[in-house]
Chains A and B, each alone.
Chain A
Amino acid sequence: MKPPKFDYFAPDSIESALALLTEHGEDARYLGGGQSLVPMMNLRVAAPSALIDLNGIAALRGIRIDEEDRLHIGAMTRTRQIELDATIARANPLLHEAAPHIAHIQIRNRGTIGGSLAHADPAAELPGVVLVCDAEIKLFGPDGARSVATGDFFKNIFSTALQDGDMITEIVFPAWPSTRRWAFQEISRREGDFAMIGIAAWFDLDDAGRISAAGLAAIGAGDTPLRLSSGETVLIGQAPGEKIFAEAARASLSDLQPGSDIHASAEYRREVGGVLVERTLKAAWERSS
């Protein structure tokens, strides 16, 4: 479990990182926290010719709220920081709640949000949360900076809208209404393992106490994180309650497209996905009442 030879570069700016990547051709890769890429290299599943280390680029770090109350998180922000940062806990408590489910502290100390999105494991937590929040993913590539909506970002297992040379620079989350209710739950074989199935949920209420907006997303339920729009539709305009949550869960089943592996069958993931939709909605509701 030793990687083949590779070159290593540690640029200090986004531009020089891109230049190095371009120079070293299609087998060069950006290095984030290394918690997915390096194990793959050790198993010789990945054999990049060069690693362009993003850890020294200050412009990729930082957490801030802009004038429109949007939350900006630099791509190289560590998962552990997402878990502990007070600004994030306030500005996107769903993210804060999901982060501790990722691996173990040692891995969260290194792994980054940019790396997690770029890696695009369909069972990973952060892609699910980013998706359910309709966040924007800021990229920098050979044609300069651009932005992709999360709904368009995840293409397939381990496959995204990133083109050759594209780097994730920042993730921008829409403002989080102070009255929003949320919850994240997942089932994994052991604490810290990738989820067999997980659900992220939130909803907002109008003045009449009816659900005015809702987000439901599943991880581990398909080739990408999935938005459960059938479930969301059921919720809109309804007063929250166990009956409507159960109905939303039933409706969500049609959006789940799980596969089977040695840890869980497709049937399990579908069934328990429904259970978790109901439970997260209930937890979200109970959080405030």
Chain B
Amino acid sequence: MSASTPYIGRSVKRLEDRRFLTGTGRYIDDIKLPDMAVMAIYRSPHAHARINAIDLTAAKAVPGVIDAFCAADIDMDLPEIPLRLAPFDGFERFLQRPIADDKVRYVGEPVAVVIASDRYIAEDALDLIEVDFAPLPAVTQVDQAAAGDTLVHEDAGENMATRYTVGRGDADDAFRRAAYTRRERFTTNRHGAVPMETRGLIAEFNPDTPLLRLHGATKVNFFNRRHLAAAFDLPEAAVELIETDVGGGFGARGELYPEDYLVPIASRRIGRPVKWIEDRRENLTATNHSRDIVCDLEIATTDEGRILGMRATVQGDMGAYIRTNGGVVASKAAQFLPGPYRVPAFSCDVQFLVTNKTPVGTFRGPGRFEANFCRERMLDMVAADLNIDPAELRLRNLMEPADLPYRIGELVPGDVNATFDRGNYPSALNQLLDEVGYADWKDRQGTIIDGRAYGLGIACFIESSAAGPPETARITVAADGAIEIRTGASSVGQGTETGMAQICADYLSVDIDRIGVLHGSTTLVPTGGGTFHSRNTVMAGNAVRMAAETLQARSIELAALRWNTDASGLEYRDGAVHQNDAAASVLSLVELAAFAQSRGTDEALAADAAFDNEGKLSYSYGAHAALVAIDVATGVVEVEKYVLTEEIGRALNPAMVQGQAIGGLVQGLGGTFLDHMVYDEDGQLLTGSFADYLLPTSTDLPDITAIALEESPSEFNPMGFKGAGEGGIVAVAAAVGNAVTHALNAHNIQINDLPITPDRLRAALRAVGA
């Protein structure tokens, strides 16, 4: 590697941005295939109902309708949507099939499909579908699900999809010994990823070739291909998953959903390409929700606030079926409850309850956002009860560098080796405290100026990144000098192309403009691990590095052949192989690529690599601070300033890291104040459009300072990267909840439930006569 081209660590402009900013990106709806039809889905208007009869006659008669079908019309065994992550025993009883057969279990569940020449006609036909439903009582709360009076899946005999206890140390003993204990119930609001671009798919299914080509894929293409191939009884090679540009993933996009099966079925039925684009109303009921947990948390400390133990019950509302993400949300909430602190004894009862709501999946920082909110709120209560400054309490309890690495114990069943790697958690908190001028704040908490109450809240977090299967990369140098990277990772808009090109440019010592990046599609790469869990920079980035290193070696080999000399005297630098002879001969990558090509097609100048971190995760960590001003009389909270520190090992591209932090934080403010999937008692979603499902907008931004720390490079990869995609979001509700509580300390208002709304705040203040 040469020091003359330091792309890593520089805010290189994103290679993707030209096409995004000039409107030439290629999103799924930009793809138009000859003879393509469109598909629309009749979705259940009921949360829970038996299907007595479905009549598609009138829908089929609409001019322009090509076909319509329901479960009974599908001549194959309807596959179950598989579990990809956290596949706990018991979940197998609650898996979803692509289309409802005898019963619907949530508003939005697919019941019938119309294929038509355009979306207008398809929706006209949907209006004419007649379904005879016999409504059943809906289960909409975890308590109700646990009581089990109404069963969502009768065959399972219960609504508890699974339940387990995890922990470490002797929690009950810790509570017996404790000078101080407290118990609180916290809830986090059901909300979701809600990407700007909704999901969409185009299927081309030719059973004769056979070929199933699915455009619009992303995230975990090779896992999805394996399961689609099995579902349609095809060899894997006959299934192609093609990526497009993507307007946001955040965990929800690219998982297998009912539509990933229905669109191919539709294409196979009519022998034409079929497109389905999810509209926003569908998106809000059809795409995974997340975050919906209730947590009863107990803490035991000494009278100096040193944590002796924690006990908890986490109840996750899973919605109507267990989808691909399995038990991630609640299991990660449980695992991250102790956080970056010394918690010698911990015990958590984790329950996964099935209800008549949209199924849940992961959303940026799954389980972490929830756990941090519960724990960090609790710590502020402890601090107040024991009259200890909240920052001091945290510093007393944060693990010190000497405590690390630390085996956290089997806090997710089967995950026996989870280990926090090295780091300096107090340093991340101390830098935050300096940045916000915390020392000056102690006396200003709760100050009221012109009816506005001011408060500063802090929160700490730790967050895992880069789990999962190995990732692949191949680098090829063409005879014209163009360098192409292919990786099995996906791009969901986060700048993967740029990041991979930076690494490649540095490790090959070449100009970044020569590098193009292709990713994800099963037609481009032989295998891939996919994109989730803040993985790409660590996993794909290291695969690219290794491929570049191999390519250097390969270049030297080729140069040795070309010069007919021994490789040992040759050196790779500045994008070329150098011979230390009198003539100082040089062979550039272009010349070597041409030479390789001249020797025959098998001799391309190319190198493959796969990076496997063998389950050794790097943990990002840091702290958040929110400064709020609350209009006490109206309950309106304004976040005036927000500061966060996040240790990410090493920043590949500081501007992109900054973007991740700010984007995550704003999304977190949404989850704290706005985003909320509200259901009524009948299981009807009351927030079915953007008039009622509120996302943060560009008009609602505070003053933000996001500081990426690079003090503790990961030991598990030579470039030192840790994930940087979730640190911005995971502690927002925690910090804001604490800030609001401090601002209102005169009234002892505690924030235990999200979202924080003017209405809820006023109700709490009214109750204490304020």
List the A residue with the shortest CB-CB distance to B693. A262
B444, chain A: closest CB distance, angstroms: 25
B762 & A271 in contact (Cβ 8 Å cutoff) = yes
B678 lies within 8 A of A190 (CB):
no
Which residue of chain A is the closest to B670 with respect to CB atoms?
A190
Whether A265 sits at the interface, judged by CB under 8 Å, is yes
Residue B697 is within 8 A (CB to CB) of chain A in the complex: yes
- Distance between Cα atoms of A5 and B119 in the complex (Å): 12
Chain B residues near A237 (CB, 8 Å)? none
Q: State in angstroms the CA–CA spacing of A5 and B635 once bound together.
A: 45
Chain B residues positioned under 8 Å from A104 (CB to CB): 699
> CB distance A44 to B127 under 8 Å?
yes
B758 in contact with A271 (CB, 8 Å) = no
| Interface contact B127-A262, CB-CB below 8 Å | no
A1 CB within 8 Å of chain B? yes
Asked if A1 and B280 make an inter-chain contact with CB atoms under 8 angstroms apart, the answer reads yes
Whether B758 contacts A268 by the Cβ 8 Å rule is: yes
Within 8 A of A (CB), among B674-723: 674, 678, 686-687, 689, 691-692, 694, 696-697, 699-700
B687 near A268: Cβ-Cβ < 8 Å:
no
The answer to whether A190 and B763 touch across the interface, beta carbons within 8 angstroms, is no
Identify A268's interface contact among B279, B678, B694, B759, CB under 8 A.
B759
Q: Which of B727-770 contact A (CB under 8 A)?
A: 757-759, 762-763, 766
Stretch from A67-75, A191-199, A225-233 that touches the partner = A191-199
Q: Are B699 and A5 interface neighbours, CB within 8 A?
A: no
Determine how close the nearest CB of chain B comes to the CB of A49; give it in whole angstroms: 14
Complex partner residue of B689 from A43, A193, A264, CB under 8 angstroms: A43
A2 touches B281 (CB 8 A): no
Residues of A within 8 A of B687 (CB): 262
Does the CB pair B119–A275 fall under 8 Å? no
Closest to B279 in A: A1
B694 near A189 with CB under 8 A, answer: yes
List chain B residues, Cβ under 8 A from A3. 120
A5 to B127, CA, bound (A): 13
Complex: A280 Cα to B213 Cα, angstroms: 62
The residue of chain A having its C-beta at the shortest distance from the C-beta of B676 within the complex is A262
Q: Is A175 an interface residue (CB 8 A)?
A: no
Kindly state whether residue B403 has any CB partner on chain A within 8 Å: no
A263 within 8 A of B: yes
Evaluate contact between B123 and A2: CB separation under 8 angstroms: yes
Q: Is B636 an interface residue (CB 8 A)?
A: yes
Give the residue of B119, B280, B692, B758 whose beta carbon is less than 8 angstroms from that of A262. Answer: B692
Tell whether A275 pairs with B634 under 8 Å between CB atoms, given A4-B127, A5-B124, A268-B762: yes
Interface pair B696/A267, CB less than 8 Å apart: no
A1-23 interface bits toward B, Cβ cutoff 8 Å, 1 = contact, 0 = none: 11111000000000000000000
| A53 to B289 alpha-carbon distance, docked (Å) | 40
Q: Is the CB of B633 within 8 A of A275?
A: yes
- Whether A264 contacts B123 in the complex (CB less than 8 A), given A189-B694, A190-B699, comes out as no
Q: Across the interface, do A267 and B763 meet the contact criterion of CB distance under 8 Å?
A: yes
- For B636, give its contact among A187, A192, A263, A267 (CB under 8 Å): A187
Which residues of the partner chain A approach B124 to less than 8 Å between Cβ atoms? 4-5
B123 x A263 contact (CB < 8 A): no
Interface size on B, residues (CB 8 A): 30
Taking a contact as CB atoms under 8 Å apart, the answer to whether A267 and B766 are in contact is: yes
Which chain A residues border B636 with CB–CB below 8 Å? Answer: 187
List chain A residues, Cβ under 8 A from B678: 262
Q: B69-124: which have CB < 8 Å to A?
A: 119-120, 123-124
Q: How far is the CA of A190 from the CA of B123 in the complex (A)?
A: 32
Question: What are the residues of chain A within 8 A of B674 when measuring CB–CB?
Answer: 189-190
- A267 to B757 alpha-carbon distance, docked (Å): 14
**For A1, A104, A267, which residue has the most chain B Cβ atoms within 10 angstroms?**
A1
Asked whether, in the complex, the Cβ of B123 is within 8 Å of the Cβ of A44, the reply is: yes
Tell me if B281 and A190 are in contact (CB < 8 A): no
The reply to whether A272 and B127 form a contact with Cβ atoms under 8 Å apart is no
Contact A190 B694 (CB under 8 A): yes
Interface string of B606-647 (1 = CB under 8 A from A): 000000000000000000000000000111100000000000
Residues of B within 8 A of A190 (CB): 674, 694, 696-697, 699-700
What is the CA–CA distance of A182 and B691 in the complex, to the nearest angstrom?
A: 30
Within 8 A of B (CB), among A242-263: 262-263
Q: How far does the Cβ of B640 sit from chain A's closest Cβ, in whole Å?
A: 15
CB neighbours (8 Å) of A194 from chain B are 691
Chain B residue numbers with a CB within 8 Å of A191 are: 697, 699-700
Q: In the bound complex, what is the Cα–Cα distance between A193 and B697 (angstroms)?
A: 11
| CB under 8 Å from chain A, chain B span 487-505 | none
Instruction: Report B318-355 CB contacts with A as 1/0, cut-off 8 Å.
Output: 00000000000000000000000000000000000000
Measured in the bound complex, the distance between the Cα atoms of B686 and A197 in whole Å is 20
> Known contacts A1-B281, A187-B634, A262-B678: does B694 contact A193 (CB below 8 Å)?
yes
Contact with A along B530-555 (1 / 0, CB 8 A): 00000000000000000000000000
Of chain A, the residue at the smallest CB distance from B678 is A262
Chain B 646-690, CB-CB to A under 8 Å as 1, else 0, gives 000000000000000000000000000010001000000011010
A268 close to B763 (CB less than 8 A): yes
Whole-angstrom distance between the Cβ of B119 and the nearest chain A Cβ? 5
CA distance A59 to B612 in the complex (A): 72
A97→B686 CA distance, assembly (Å): 32
A5, A104, A187: which has the most chain B beta carbons within 10 Å? A187
A281 CB → nearest B CB, Å: 14
CB <8 Å contact, B759 and A265: yes
B127 contact set on A, CB distance < 8 A: 4, 44
* Cβ–Cβ contact A5 & B120, under 8 A: yes
Instruction: Please indicate the chain A residues that have their CB under 8 angstroms from the CB of B280 in the complex.
Output: 1
Contact B634 A263 (CB under 8 A): no
In the docked arrangement, what's the CA distance between A276 and B697, Å? 25
Cβ contact of A264, chosen from B281, B699, B700, B758, cutoff 8 A = B758
B123–A272 CB distance below 8 A: no
Question: B700's closest neighbor in chain A, by CB?
Answer: A190
The 9 closest A-B pairs by CB, nearest first: A191-B699, A1-B279, A268-B759, A264-B759, A2-B120, A275-B633, A2-B123, A262-B678, A272-B634
Q: List 26 A-B contacts (CB under 8 A).
A: A1-B279, A2-B119, A4-B123, A4-B124, A5-B120, A187-B634, A187-B636, A189-B674, A189-B757, A189-B758, A190-B674, A190-B696, A190-B700, A191-B699, A192-B699, A264-B759, A265-B759, A265-B763, A267-B766, A268-B635, A268-B762, A268-B763, A272-B635, A272-B758, A275-B633, A276-B634
14 extra interface residue pairs, beta carbon distance < 8 Å, beyond A1-B281, A265-B759, A267-B762: A189-B757, A190-B699, A191-B699, A196-B758, A196-B759, A263-B757, A264-B758, A267-B766, A268-B635, A268-B759, A271-B762, A272-B634, A272-B635, A275-B633
